[in-house]
């Protein structure tokens, strides 16, 4: 794909690109948005540097792609229930998302993507790893693809946000991780293990360590060996890229075909991000629809 209005610089072989030439704090021309949309579909994770975004501007950019999800569990930015606060203070030992996962896979209609914006970053460390679920699917043998094709998996928020996960002991030790327990944590959602991306038609491996509990129709114990194989396979280095954050970086990833892991290698330092999670509620991409009309 050639781009006329933005510059797209791939970050790794399978996934990730930096985009230059877009000021996300301003309304964007349809031709620029079209190219950002295309780059997002092509590279799965797109990174914008040196942005200056208020929570309102962050949400306005997100709304080009879909509505803003309200998360039942995360702390949020005051006055913005749809902007999640992802923070780690110097005294905290744990961080948010330090396990391979795809955001909010525990609901019936998982989100399109997430936009994470860096306000405060450690001097070093605190990078986020991303991996392509297309690439991990494509690298499986035909036999394994066939076996997985008929399987569904049960996803749930219990392990991450259930009463035991967010109890007073964990919260006392990690004051910035103020997860709210909600009964919604106990609900399950079922998704195909091989999920077809609605826009690209490509297949990806849709299971993740945080939220997948078991295969449908099997116990967790029966499911564990195959899930463990898939998790290890999906994190192979050649399927990944790594985002090094700077203040003002916004990274937009596709939750339908990627998983990610926020590294916790910056003890004693502070890292503060705002996250907007974008719903998969746009049936058609407006600019493309208009230009096709
Ligand atoms: C997340 O898992 O959404 C947070 C990722 C990060 O903080 O890098």
* Catalytic residue list contains 275: yes
**CATH class of the domain whose range is 7-292:** alpha beta
Given the residues 37, 43, 101, 155, select the one marked as catalytic: 101
* Catalytic residue list contains 101: yes
Query: Which burial class, exposed, middle or buried, applies to 122 when counting CB atoms under 10 A from its CB (0-12, 13-18, 19+)?
Result: middle
SS3 assignment, position 118: strand
Q: For residue range 196-242, what is the model confidence (pLDDT) as tens digits? A: 999 999 999 999 999 999 999 999 999 999 999 999 999 999 999 99
Q: Which pair of structure tokens corresponds to residue 37?
A: 């949309």
Cα separation, 74 vs 60, in Å, equals: 20
pLDDT of residue 292: 35
Given the residues 34, 82, 92, 103, select the one marked as catalytic: 103
Cα separation, 277 vs 178, in Å, equals: 18
**276: nearest Cα among 243, 252, 242, 244:** 252
pLDDT of residue 289: 41
Q: For residue range 159-171, what is the model confidence (pLDDT) as tens digits? A: 777 767 666 666 6
* Contact call for residues 19 and 246 (beta carbons, < 8 A): no
- What's the maximum distance between 2 C-alpha atoms anywhere in the chain? 57
Buried b (16+ CB within 10 A) or exposed e, 45-78: bbbbeebebebebbbbbbebbbbbbebbbbbbee
pLDDT of residue 179: 73
Task: Determine which residue's CA is closest to atom 3 belonging to ligand 1.
Answer: 97
Q: Can you tell me which atom of ligand 1 is nearest the CA of 114?
A: 3
Helix %, strand %, coil % for the chain, to 5? 25, 25, 45
CB 35 less than 6 A from any atom of ligand 1? no
Q: For residue range 25-65, what is the model confidence (pLDDT) as tens digits? A: 999 999 999 999 999 999 999 999 999 999 999 999 999 99
pLDDT of residue 203: 98
239 CA to centre of ligand 1 in angstroms:
18
96 CA to centre of ligand 1 in angstroms:
6
* Cα separations in angstroms, 160 against 151, 180, 218, 223, 285: 24, 11, 21, 19, 33
291 CA to centre of ligand 1 in angstroms:
35
pLDDT band, residue 288 (cuts 50/70/90): very low
Task: Determine which residue's CA is closest to atom 1 belonging to ligand 1.
Answer: 97
Q: For residue range 132-186, what is the model confidence (pLDDT) as tens digits? A: 999 999 999 999 999 999 999 999 988 777 767 666 666 665 566 667 766 666 7
Mutating to test ligand 1, I would choose from 101, 127, 262 the residue with most ligand atoms within 8 A of its C-beta, which is 262
**6: nearest Cα among 68, 64, 48:** 48
Q: Which pair of structure tokens corresponds to residue 173?
A: 């030790």
The pTM (predicted TM-score) of the whole model is 0.93
């Amino acid at each position: 794909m050639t781009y006329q209005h933005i510059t797209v610089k791939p970050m790794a072989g399978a996934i990730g690109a930096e985009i230059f030439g877009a000021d996300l704090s301003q309304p964007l021309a349809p031709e620029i948005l079209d190219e950002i949309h295309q780059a997002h579909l092509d590279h799965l994770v797109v990174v914008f540097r040196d942005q200056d975004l208020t929570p309102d501007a962050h949400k306005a950019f997100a709304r080009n792609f879909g509505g803003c999800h309200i998360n039942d569990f995360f702390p949020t930015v005051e006055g913005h229930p749809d902007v999640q606060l992802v923070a780690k203070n110097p005294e905290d030992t744990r961080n948010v998302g330090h396990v391979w996962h795809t955001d909010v896979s525990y609901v019936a209609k998982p989100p399109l993507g997430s936009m994470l914006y860096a306000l405060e970053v450690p001097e070093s460390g605190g990078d986020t790893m991303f991996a392509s679920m297309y690439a991990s699917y494509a690298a499986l043998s035909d036999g394994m693809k066939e076996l997985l094709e008929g399987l569904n998996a049960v996803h749930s928020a219990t392990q991450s946000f259930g009463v035991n996960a967010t109890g007073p002991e964990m919260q006392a030790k990690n004051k910035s991780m103020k997860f709210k327990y909600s009964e919604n944590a106990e609900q399950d959602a079922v998704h195909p293990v091989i999920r077809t991306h609605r826009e690209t038609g490509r297949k990806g491996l849709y299971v993740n360590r945080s939220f997948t509990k078991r295969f449908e129709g099997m116990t967790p114990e029966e499911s564990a060996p195959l899930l463990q194989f898939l998790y290890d396979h999906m994190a192979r280095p050649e399927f990944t890229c790594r985002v090094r954050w700077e203040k003002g970086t916004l990274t937009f990833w596709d939750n339908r075909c990627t998983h990610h892991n926020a590294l916790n290698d910056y003890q004693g330092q502070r890292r503060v991000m705002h996250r907007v999670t974008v719903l998969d509620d746009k049936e058609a991409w407006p600019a493309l629809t208009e230009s096709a009309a």
